[in-house]
Amino acid sequence: MAQAIVIKSTGKQYLVRTDAGIISCSLRGKLKQIGFKSTNPVAVGDVVDFDFDKNSEFGVITKIQPRKNKIVRRSTNLSRYAHILAANIDYAVLVATVKNPKTYPEFIDRFIAGAEQSNIEPIIIFNKIDILDKDELTELNSLTEMYEKIGFKVFQISVLQSLNINIFDEIIADKIIMLSGNSGVGKSSLVNRLNEKLDLKTSEISESYGGGKHTTTFAEMHQVGKGWVIDTPGIKGYGLTDFKPEDVATYFREFREVSKRCKYNNCSHTHEPGCAVKSAVDSGEIHASRYKSYISILNDNEEDKYRLDAYR
Ligand SMILES: Nc1nc2c(ncn2[C@@H]2O[C@H](COP(=O)(O)OP(=O)(O)OP(=O)(O)O)[C@@H](O)[C@H]2O)c(=O)[nH]1
Ligand SMILES: [Mg+2]
Ligand SMILES: [Zn+2]
C-alpha cells in the first residue's frame, strides 16, 4: 500500500502522482458507492491509498483519505447529483473576462459563495484585458473595485501579452490552486504560460455565439514552479449544493457585519421590516448586483427544497 495524489480522473481511469512517478489506477468497486451523491467519487486533489500491481504496471485505489475541503457544484440545475471540481485546494481561482466571453457578475458571486461555503479563499482574475475598449475598461475597473472593497483579491491580467502574470509566483508557491470559469476565458492558456513545457489544448472563441468551445474535458493537476495548478473544464453556471437558506447570507462577506443591525436576528433579508441589509443596498453600501445574486441563490433552494436531503 502506498499513498498518492489524484491528478486526473476520467471516471474510469485515474492518474495518481507518487514518489515514483505517475501511475494509472482503477477504482476498487465498493468505493464507487460512497454516501454523498456525487458523479465522481474520486476527484482531482484527493489523497488516496493504492495497491500497485508490478505485473500490470497499474494500481488500484483502495481508499480516499478524508478531504481537507472540496469545491462542489450541482452537476446541472435539476440534478440530485453533485460534481466535485477539486479537493484539498488552497485557493479557488475564478478566471473571468469582461468580453469574449462575458462573465456575468452573478456567475462570479455564485463561485465566491461556493468557495465561502467550503471555507476556501477565492481569488478573482480578470483575463484578456488586452482586448478591452475604453468603456469595457471602465466596467472592468468598477468590478475590480467592487470586489476588492468587499475584501477579495482581484487581479487584471493578459495571458496573451504576459501582463501581470508574475502575480502567480506568490499565489502558487507550495500551494494547490484550482482554476475555474466559463469556457474560453483562457484557463488552459494561462497554465501553458505559467509552465512553458506544457502544451495544453486551447481553442478560439466561437465566432457565431462568442462563447468558448469546451476544449478542456477533464480536470487535471499540473506542476507550476513550486506549486500545482488544477485546470478544469469551462462551465456555464454554479448551482450550490447542500446549503440551508439561512446560511446563504454568510456566504456574502459584506452582509455579515451589516446583518447584525437587522431588526430580527433570523432576518432573511427579503421581506422583513427593519432589514439593515436591504437599507444598505438602498444606500449603495452593499452593491445591488451582489444582493440580486443572493436572492437568486435563495430561489434555487426554493425550487429544489425536496432535494436538499439528497446531499446529506
Ligand atoms: N486576447 C486574448 N486572448 C486570450 C488571452 N488568453 C487566452 N486567450 C485566447 O482565448 C481562447 C480560449 O482560451 P483557452 O485557454 O482554450 O480557454 P479555457 O478557459 O481553457 O477554455 P475551456 O477549456 O473550454 O474551459 C484562445 O483562443 C486563447 O488564445 C488573453 O489574455 N488575451
Ligand atoms: Mg481549457
Ligand atoms: Zn435583514
| Beta-strand runs (E) in the chain | 2-9, 14-18, 21-27, 47-53, 58-64, 70-74, 82-87, 91-96, 121-126, 153-156, 176-180, 220-224, 227-231
134 CB burial (10 A radius; 0-12, 13-18, 19+): exposed
Contact call for residues 16 and 25 (beta carbons, < 8 A): yes
Ligand 1 mutation target, pool 187, 189, 194, 230, most atoms within 8 A of CB: 189
> Which ligand 1 atom is nearest residue 192's CA?
15
> Which ligand 1 atom is nearest residue 131's CA?
1
CATH placement of domain 2-64: 2.40.50.140
* CATH 1.10.40.50 holds for 245-311: yes
Q: Is the pLDDT of residue 306 over 70?
A: no
Name the pLDDT band for 53 (thresholds 50, 70, 90).
confident
User: How many angstroms is it from 184 CA to the middle of ligand 2?
Assistant: 7
So what's the pLDDT on residue 34?
57
pTM: 0.93
User: How many angstroms is it from 167 CA to the middle of ligand 1?
Assistant: 19
Ligand 1 mutation target, pool 99, 159, 195, most atoms within 8 A of CB: 159
**Alpha carbon 246 to chain centroid, angstroms:** 22
Give the Cβ contact number of residue 249 at 10 Å.
19
So what's the pLDDT on residue 28?
86
Contact call for residues 235 and 110 (beta carbons, < 8 A): no
31-43: pLDDT as tens digits: 765 555 677 889 9
> Residue 124, SS3?
strand
User: How many angstroms is it from 249 CA to the middle of ligand 3?
Assistant: 9
So what's the pLDDT on residue 312?
27
168-177: pLDDT as tens digits: 999 999 999 9
More confident residue, 273 or 52: 273
CATH placement of domain 70-231: 3.40.50.300
Ligand 1 mutation target, pool 202, 216, 217, most atoms within 8 A of CB: 202
Measured CA to CA, the distance from residue 98 to residue 210 in angstroms comes to 12
Pairing of strands 2-9, 70-74: unpaired
So what's the pLDDT on residue 303?
55
Q: Give the residue extent of every domain in the chain.
A: 2-64, 70-231, 245-311
15-28: pLDDT as tens digits: 999 988 999 999 98
